[in-house]
């Protein structure tokens, strides 16, 4: 077990898998209060300006996306762990409720884990494409 993360590498992978499944796919925004560290920092591309710091900002960001695209889902395609980081390559899908147009995009996310919580996130998301 890593003394910084509180997890083994395999446990870190499972924690991130579970986070995406609960937070996005099951729309359990409240899990952010458990999974995000109080001083969580989001360096993600496309994060709207003006969100509050810490878990609240991340929770507002995802809750807003889920309101706009209620069927949004994320599928993890790759997970790589090293030291206190988990790198995720994922695919997102959703339908624009106004046009019924389905779209998808991929992304790369790096999570830093500390004390069994998500402490930082760096993300790159490609532009969405119609499918």
3 in a structural domain: no
Structure tokens at 114: 């500390």
Task: State the DSSP code for 26.
Answer: S
Owner of token pair 């870190």: 12
In the three-class reduction of DSSP (H, G, I as helix; E, B as strand; rest coil), residue 81 is classed as: strand
2 in a structural domain: no
49 in a structural domain: yes
At 54, which CATH number?
Answer: 3.10.450.50
Expressed as residue numbers, the domain containing 36 is 9-130
Q: Please tell me which residue, 33 or 3, carries the higher pLDDT value.
A: 33
25 in a structural domain: yes
50 in a structural domain: yes
4 in a structural domain: no
Would you say 45 and 84 are in contact if contact means Cβ atoms under 8 Å apart?
A: no
Would you say 104 and 131 are in contact if contact means Cβ atoms under 8 Å apart?
A: yes
* pLDDT tens digits, 61-113: 999 999 999 999 999 999 999 999 999 999 999 999 999 999 999 999 999 99
pTM: 0.93
Task: Report how many domains make up the chain.
Answer: 1
């Amino acid at each position: 077990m890593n003394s910084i993360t509180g997890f083994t590498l395999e446990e870190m992978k499972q924690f991130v898998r579970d986070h995406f499944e609960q937070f996005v796919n099951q729309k359990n925004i409240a899990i952010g209060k458990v999974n995000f560290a109080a001083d969580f920092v989001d360096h993600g591309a496309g994060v709207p300006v003006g969100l509050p710091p810490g878990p609240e900002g991340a929770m507002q960001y995802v809750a807003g996306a889920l309101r706009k695209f209620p069927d949004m889902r994320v599928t993890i395609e790759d997970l790589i762990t090293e030291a206190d980081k988990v790198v995720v390559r994922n695919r997102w899908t959703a339908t624009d409720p106004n046009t019924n147009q389905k779209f998808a995009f991929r992304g790369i996310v790096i999570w830093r884990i500390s004390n069994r919580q998500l402490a930082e996130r760096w993300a790159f998301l490609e532009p969405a494409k119609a499918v």
